Amino acid sequence: MQAILALLQAQPGLYIGLVFLLGLTIGSFLNVVIHRLPIMMERDWRSQCAELEHRDAPVESPEVYTLVRPRSACPKCGHRIGALENIPVLSYLLLRGRCAGCGVRISLRYPAVELLTAILSAVVAWRFGVTVEAVAALAITWCLIALAGIDLDTQYLPDSITQPLLWAGLLASLAATQVPHQSLFPTPATAIIGAAAGYLSLWSVSQLFRVVMRKEGMGAGDFKLLAVFGAWLGWQRLLLIVLASASVGAVIGIALIVFRRHERSKPIPFGPFLAAGGWVAMLWGDTIIDAYINRFPI
């Protein structure tokens, strides 16, 4: 293992390339997560409702439905996707974006998610090198892509992803006392304050919006996601994350409305913007904050 790590440290191009290929594979799996996890959640909700109402749970088809079963298949013709048809990006190009069974067009989102995951993973590898930080940042990046995709589709940020991320961030802060030079991990006190401040800040804004506008303006999933960033990055980067997320969200939201691609009455999920702002802060938060302080000294 030491020899492999030494080789990767000596050959950064090889390391980044391997992480890029790994990202393609992970991206293929994230497509499954984005599609199936909301369906699994809905089935679980229906089952719980049936239990509370003392009636039989609905019979689902297929009965077993997880992230790995049943095998992926074309939703139109049921053609089972074989191994050679499931190579990230390459299979899509070879099949010319169509199902091998019936020829129906395959959504461009699948190779887009795979390629996005690979690119972001390579950037993380370039930024952090062969370190524990890189491993943590890669895991966070993959979870953020899944959360953003699910939020875009359903306006849900599943607890099954945000809660483990939150606890992992709090536990990772213990590494700050053992490996003080690892800048990604804040101290336990900073992580706990960051998690609480992240959750309560958006919760307070949401409550104020509901009182003033008399309608919901933000889901609890957004509070939990900002709490995740507070746990992993500390409270110091929260303002940067919120400002970056709100700015990008406002620009894109206005653009969608102006070009009539989005109805004014339909809410725009904030999770993808929050994920993007948090990811940028994770990689370059200190650099951005230092540049601002140097430009506008207090």
Contact assessment for residue 44 and residue 158, using Cβ atoms and an 8 Å cutoff:
no
Asked whether the predicted pLDDT for residue 277 surpasses 80, the reply is yes
Q: DSSP code of 80?
A: B
Average pLDDT score over residue span 167-190: 79
Band the pLDDT of 78: cuts 50, 70, 90: confident
pLDDT (0 to 100) of residue 240: 94
Burial profile 87-106: b = 16 or more Cβ within 10 angstroms, e = fewer:
ebbebbeeeeeebbeeeeeb
Q: Which percentage of the chain shows pLDDT scores above 70?
A: 92
Asked whether the predicted pLDDT for residue 181 surpasses 90, the reply is no
From residue 27, alpha-carbon distances to 6, 102, 113, 205, 288 in Å are: 27, 25, 6, 34, 28
Instruction: Please give the single-letter amino acid code of residue 92.
Output: Y
Asked whether the predicted pLDDT for residue 135 surpasses 80, the reply is yes
pLDDT (0 to 100) of residue 201: 92
pLDDT (0 to 100) of residue 289: 85
Band the pLDDT of 74: cuts 50, 70, 90: confident
Average pLDDT score over residue span 163-168: 96
Band the pLDDT of 249: cuts 50, 70, 90: confident
For 47, how many CA atoms within 13 A lie in the half-sphere containing its CB? 9
What would the two tokens of residue 250 be?
Answer: 């406002």
Residues in the chain: 298
Asked whether the predicted pLDDT for residue 69 surpasses 70, the reply is yes
Asked whether the predicted pLDDT for residue 118 surpasses 80, the reply is yes
Average pLDDT score over residue span 84-94: 86
Average pLDDT score over residue span 136-148: 97
Contact assessment for residue 262 and residue 142, using Cβ atoms and an 8 Å cutoff:
no
Closest CA to 111 of 122, 119, 121: 119
Closest CA to 233 of 145, 136, 298, 163: 136
Mean pLDDT lowest among 23-32, 82-91, 258-267: 258-267
What stretch of H or E contains 295?
helix 271-295
Band the pLDDT of 294: cuts 50, 70, 90: confident
Average pLDDT score over residue span 155-160: 94
User: Where on the phi/psi map is residue 89: left (φ > 0), alpha (ψ -120 to 50), or beta?
Assistant: left
pLDDT (0 to 100) of residue 235: 94
Asked whether the predicted pLDDT for residue 50 surpasses 90, the reply is no
Asked whether the predicted pLDDT for residue 91 surpasses 90, the reply is no
Band the pLDDT of 101: cuts 50, 70, 90: confident
Average pLDDT score over residue span 234-246: 92
Asked whether the predicted pLDDT for residue 179 surpasses 60, the reply is no
Return d(Cα 138, Cα 125) in angstroms, integer. Answer: 8
On the 0-12 / 13-18 / 19+ scale of CB atoms within 10 A, 228 is: buried
Asked whether the predicted pLDDT for residue 265 surpasses 70, the reply is no
Q: Which residues contact 120 (CB under 8 A, 6 or more apart)?
A: 23, 141, 145, 279
- pLDDT tens readout for residues 214-229: 777 677 899 999 999 9
From residue 145, alpha-carbon distances to 139, 168, 221, 250, 255 in Å are: 10, 17, 15, 20, 23
Q: DSSP code of 187?
A: P
